[in-house]
Amino acid sequence: MSTKSVVLLDYGSGNLHSAERALVRAGAQVQVTADPEAALAADGLVVPGVGAYAACMAGLREVRGERIIGQRLAGGRPVLGICVGMQIMFDRGVEFGVETEGCGEWPGTVAHLDAPVLPHMGWNTVKSPADSTLFAGLDADTRFYFVHSYAAQQWELPDNEHIAPAKLTWAEHGVPFLAAVENGPLSATQFHPEKSGDAGAQLLRNWIGSI
């Protein structure tokens, strides 16, 4: 089986070095770039993201990343969002009372978690569906590493008889929130698989094996 090519989208926001190392260890041939041709041609595209929603969207738009994501998904080409790279797939994010338009691949709003301690930083279990591709081979008590104060707390995409329903994975910190989504060619995790040890490595292998 040939090695899968993955572009790690470099738009000025993301833990690029650790994500690159993790993807390489998981078996991918990785290129870190914002070049549209490379990003569209690769077997998989990973969209990282750390920091503020608005800053990530500004950086993404500078390299026309939202168009790259949209073009790939329109052609059924796999995309994986990580942390804020997951959040920006939704319609909008609200931080400090400021609303920022996202990529709009999924309806809904990313908002502040109602929790006694923020940021949510550290290891947490998740509840994934039995038929998940991302979490295949992982035990129910497996923990993943989170660092965030905002998340999508509802899933608002209506079911469509022509498309398989999304596979939703939930976690809880003060309130339930989406820890991961698998929706056709678009997958995303709120946690950092590249910082989640053996469990994160297995998840990345699962994703790479599916593209």
Which amino acids are annotated catalytic? 83, 192, 194
Q: Is the peptide bond before 78 cis (omega within 30 degrees of 0)?
A: no
DSSP the chain: -PPPEEEEE-SS-S-HHHHHHHHHHTT-EEEEE--HHHHHHSSEEEE---S-HHHHHHHHHHTTHHHHHHHHHHTT--EEEETHHHHTTEEEEEETTEEEE---SEEEEEEE---SSSSEEEEEE-B--TT-STTTT--TT-EEEEEESEEE----PPPBTTBPPPEEEEEEESEEEEEEEEETTEEEESS-GGGSHHHHHHHHHHHHHH-
